[in-house]
Structure 1
Amino acid sequence: MFSKRKNKFIHRFDVRLTVLYTTIFFSLALILCSFLYYRLNHNLVKQVGIVLADEVTEFKNEINEELLKKNTIQSGCEIFADDISKRKYYPMYFRLYTSSGQQIFQSDNSLISSFPNIEQHITQGMNKIKHHGSLLVIEEHLFISALKNTFILQIGTSLKRTKKTSDNFLYNIIIVIPVMLLFCIIGGMTASRKVRDVLRNIISVTKRITSKNLKERLIVPHENDEIKDLTVTINSMIDRLEKSFEEIKHFTSDVSHELRNPLFALKGEIEVTLSQKRSVSEYQDSMQFCLEKINTLIKMVNDLFLITRFDSKKIQLDFEDINICDLIKDLYDFFLPITLEKKTNLNISQCDEIILTADRIQISQLINNLLDNAVKFTPENGMIDISLVQINDNEIELCICDNGKGIPQDKLKKIFDRFYQVDPSRTDSQKGTGLGLHICKRIVHAHNGSIRVNSNTEQGVSFIIRMPIEQIS
């Protein structure tokens, strides 16, 4: 049990995030402290080197002054040795050699024996700084003008003070490191707790969401950060899922309803026909009725299959150059006998000769559905008008108008929905599947066009389609 809790704790998001934050911050802090420690040592040694160089210049001046006073070089060295022995922070020690390597003078101190051996054959005026144990020694070839001769001077000082300073700095770093580590852990846990709480809330809410409960939403934080973007994105996804489930639910309900009516009608007709012995003409009438219902069902199934292909984007449009005016005239010839039988006027007011790049079958079905609706809902002595115009270099406008009953304004927004019918109580001759206008909309959109409907309750309906002449890939 303890092992499981331990593994769960280690794999928690906030713990892993804290470890990551701590590792990065702690590594950067160590690199920074190491760099500062190096720079401190470097600058301290450099400063001591500057002090030694100043002492070399002072020694040179002291020796020259003594020689000008007719004193010996040893007396100048003694005066300089007495002067540097009073240094509090950086006590100096020196030795003086001839250019041949013979020692002339050395200051009285036991550290002199720790001085490195002199380097001869160094160019006159050249100096060299040496680290030797705890000493910093500067060695320089000096030209003493009063004697017109060259000497080798070694002057050095102890680095104990600089070492103490750097050791104190290192000690402070060692003390601060555990404190920094603690603050890193506390800060990391505090910073990652908000993210963990948001994730736990997301997990909790999403676990409650099912197909029967899509009303749950995540609480959107006030801060404009990535967490808010994630929350809004998830809520938008749930909105889309809810809408899709509602559409599926309505679609299933509508399909069930639309299939049930003709099936019950078939069942009732067959039961009535078989209930008693009938004549041949009565059997033929019954079979004719059944055939009409079956054709209605087949049309509905075909329409549903076409809509499904549009939804899954599996429909392949066969684009070709077609004379849409000729296509309209062919459909006009097809519907003309029907309108004459209904005593309805069908007219083509304008039909420009236009070569359109489109799918012939789909465009034919589009115009057929619109004309079928117009013929179905236009009363006796009514008027149906077709017009086709080219409105610019690459766009056509097809308008099919009638002066029938029209559509109320509050129902126009739903006219292209699946299975939607403005008046469900219409007679069988007027009643359709409610899929025709939805299919029209999908065909127009597949051709990168637009379709809209204008309605006046007393003047009928106008369906206006705009479509590009050439399709751009």
Structure 2
Amino acid sequence: MKRITRTLRFRLTAWYCIALAAGMVVFGGVLLGLAERHLMTNHDEAISLRGATALQILAQGGPGHDFTPWQTTRLARLGKVAIAQNLVGRDLVVYESPELYNASIMDRISALPNSEGEPNALRTFVQNGDYWRVLIIHRHPPGARHSTIWILEELGAVDATLKRLRLAFFHLVPVGLLVSFLGGYMLSGRALAPVTRIITLTKEIEAHSLDRRLPHPGVDDEIGRLVDTLNRMIGRLENAFEAMKRFTADASHELRSPLATIRNTIDVTLEQARTPQEQEAALRSVGEEVDRIRSLAEDLLLLARADSGRMVMQARPVDLAFIVEAQVEARLPQAEEWGLEVQVGPLIHDEILGDEGWLHQVVSNLLSNAIKYTPRGGKVLVDMARTPQALQVIVSDTGPGIPEEDLERIFDRFYRVDPSRTRTRAPGTGLGLAIAAWVVAEHHGTLRAANRPEGGATFTVTLPLGAAHA
């Protein structure tokens, strides 16, 4: 039971019933008030008409308190009527309808508040459990004594009608609430049934079945938008799991190759005696592979920290031209060793807001990538450009370029277009461009790859200018 009361279905139904009960109480109160007012108004109109008739009858008599037979007959036809006149200094009843003879009701009428200031006053009183309505008329005819006329009407029909209405209301409200609760519970169950199915199907989707999607209800309502949102989330999870699997497989592959090389080198060296020169060469080979593993581990650690959000960029004014100049100078010996020419266009000394260390990493990775994929005798071109809102660094090469279908994936981790392109170069980790793309994105910039019409690839870094230039 406790579990049911905590469900959204029960809470929706409960709130619906509470609101309905409040509305029914207000509506019932207003309805009873209007009914009572309407019945009393009809009753009062009839009493007022009888009062006007009584005044006409009394106007036909003389100044005394005796009534003619005609008047008595006419007054008797009016129903319950009593008349008092001021005699010997106080009001005495001089006429009573036959229905009021020997009735204690006259004492109750006499005890009503004096309404002499009101020409026609309507009062309600209770006598022996019965409700009565009385019209009090004060008459001051010229040359005659002051008299008071009481026109009475029992409110039995009105009271009975109101009692029946109240009884019906107090019986129908609980029944209506019960029916509404059951109906609301059923309707809310039907309305929330798609949510229950979504919960059930979502529980069935595990890490190994992320290719499944929730069925769309076919209606663009809240449930439909929820299904679309969950399907998009599952799609992102699927892509993240696939990327993690590829990342793990690629990292394992990248580590397996240098470890196998180290193992083979050690085994070959231990099989037979080696000269000092051969041992030195073997150790150098092992050292190169260890450096490769270390570089891979550092890059993996960097990307892991980036994914976890623990890498923070320090935004300071930075001269991007100084970074380009420093990195080109650092890469010149490697380019000359591999027979490449590095051409640098005009540098633009404008400041941007960024982390100088990470921007050095971006330019270094782009230059290293261009040198790696440019054949001997080729060129690496470095240029800068300025737009009204940004500064650009453009690194191009005269290599074989990038297949069009691979331009969007070139920044994926461990992605290589064609391993044969680097057969004459030192192999990399396949993480340089991924790191560069992440750093540029953290600086609110963009990194784009394209092919040059004359052959080769171009990488364009676009970074927003500093606040002083924006």
- Alignment TM-score > 0.5, same fold: yes
Matching residue of 1:238: 234
Partners of 1:144 and 1:150 within 8 A in 2: yes
Could you tell me which of 81, 84, 87 is aligned with 1:94?
Answer: 81
Could you tell me which of 402, 409, 430 is aligned with 1:407?
Answer: 402
Q: Distance in 1 between matches of 2:118 and 2:443?
A: 94
Within a 5 Å distance, the mapping from 1:250-399 to structure 2 comes to 250-392=246-388, 394-399=389-394
Matching residue of 1:417: 412
Which aligned runs of 4 or more in structure 1 are off by greater than 6 angstroms? 6-12
Q: Label 1:349 to 1:14 Cα distance change in 2 as closer, same or farther (>3 A).
A: closer
The range that moved more, 410-419 or 232-241, is 232-241
Q: Distance in 2 between matches of 1:326 and 1:67?
A: 127
SS at match of 1:250: helix
Tell me the amino acid that sits aligned with residue 94 of structure 2.
I
Could you tell me which of 242, 245, 248 is aligned with 2:244?
Answer: 248
Superposed CA RMSD in Å reads 2.8
Q: Distance in 1 between matches of 2:193 and 2:28?
A: 35
Q: Describe the superposition over 1:316-354 as per-residue Cα deviations: whole angstroms up to 9, x where unpaired.
A: 112222222122112222222222233322111121111
Partners of 1:101 and 1:120 within 8 A in 2: no
Q: Distance in 1 between matches of 2:62 and 2:363?
A: 123
Q: Label 1:78 to 1:224 Cα distance change in 2 as closer, same or farther (>3 A).
A: farther
Q: How much does 1:95 deviate?
A: 1.1
Tell me the amino acid that sits aligned with residue 346 of structure 1.
V
Q: Distance in 2 between matches of 1:126 and 1:60?
A: 12
SS at match of 2:343: strand
Q: Distance in 2 between matches of 1:471 and 1:289?
A: 49
Is the counterpart of residue 108 in structure 1 residue 98 in structure 2? yes
Q: How much does 1:190 deviate?
A: 2.6
SS at match of 1:104: strand
Q: How much does 1:71 deviate?
A: 10
Partners of 1:64 and 1:146 within 8 A in 2: no
Q: Distance in 2 between matches of 1:40 and 1:363?
A: 84
Tell me the amino acid that sits aligned with residue 202 of structure 1.
I
Tell me the amino acid that sits aligned with residue 109 of structure 2.
N
Could you tell me which of 204, 209, 232 is aligned with 2:200?
Answer: 204
Q: Distance in 2 between matches of 1:9 and 1:128?
A: 57
Within a 5 Å distance, the mapping from 1:1-40 to structure 2 comes to 14=9, 17-40=12-35
Tell me the amino acid that sits aligned with residue 431 of structure 2.
L
Q: How much does 1:297 deviate?
A: 1.1
Q: How much does 1:26 deviate?
A: 4.3
Matching residue of 1:46: 41
Could you tell me which of 149, 152, 156 is aligned with 1:153?
Answer: 149
Q: How much does 1:471 deviate?
A: 6.2
SS at match of 1:346: strand
Partners of 1:451 and 1:464 within 8 A in 2: yes
Q: How much does 1:156 deviate?
A: 1.2
Matching residue of 1:438: 434
Q: Distance in 2 between matches of 1:202 and 1:194?
A: 13
Q: Label 1:459 to 1:96 Cα distance change in 2 as closer, same or farther (>3 A).
A: same
The range that moved more, 97-106 or 171-180, is 171-180
SS at match of 1:350: coil
Could you tell me which of 108, 113, 117 is aligned with 2:109?
Answer: 117
Partners of 1:97 and 1:153 within 8 A in 2: yes
Q: Describe the superposition over 1:54-96 as per-residue Cα deviations: whole angstroms up to 9, x where unpaired.
A: 322332233224459x9965557524423324xxxxxxx1211
SS at match of 1:109: helix
Q: Label 1:175 to 1:141 Cα distance change in 2 as closer, same or farther (>3 A).
A: closer
Q: How much does 1:229 deviate?
A: 3.1
Q: Distance in 1 between matches of 2:268 and 2:310?
A: 43
Q: Label 1:244 to 1:43 Cα distance change in 2 as closer, same or farther (>3 A).
A: same
Q: Distance in 2 between matches of 1:17 and 1:198?
A: 16
Partners of 1:386 and 1:401 within 8 A in 2: yes
Partners of 1:351 and 1:388 within 8 A in 2: yes
Q: Describe the superposition over 1:196-249 as per-residue Cα deviations: whole angstroms up to 9, x where unpaired.
A: 532432332133222222233322223333333333333233222222211111
Q: Describe the superposition over 1:355-401 as per-residue Cα deviations: whole angstroms up to 9, x where unpaired.
A: 22211110001000001111111122322211122211x41111111
Partners of 1:345 and 1:381 within 8 A in 2: yes
Is the counterpart of residue 130 in structure 1 residue 120 in structure 2? no
Q: Label 1:292 to 1:80 Cα distance change in 2 as closer, same or farther (>3 A).
A: farther
Q: Distance in 1 between matches of 2:280 and 2:431?
A: 30
Q: How much does 1:268 deviate?
A: 0.9
Q: Distance in 1 between matches of 2:311 and 2:6?
A: 47
Q: Distance in 2 between matches of 1:469 and 1:13?
A: 52
Q: Percent identity?
A: 24
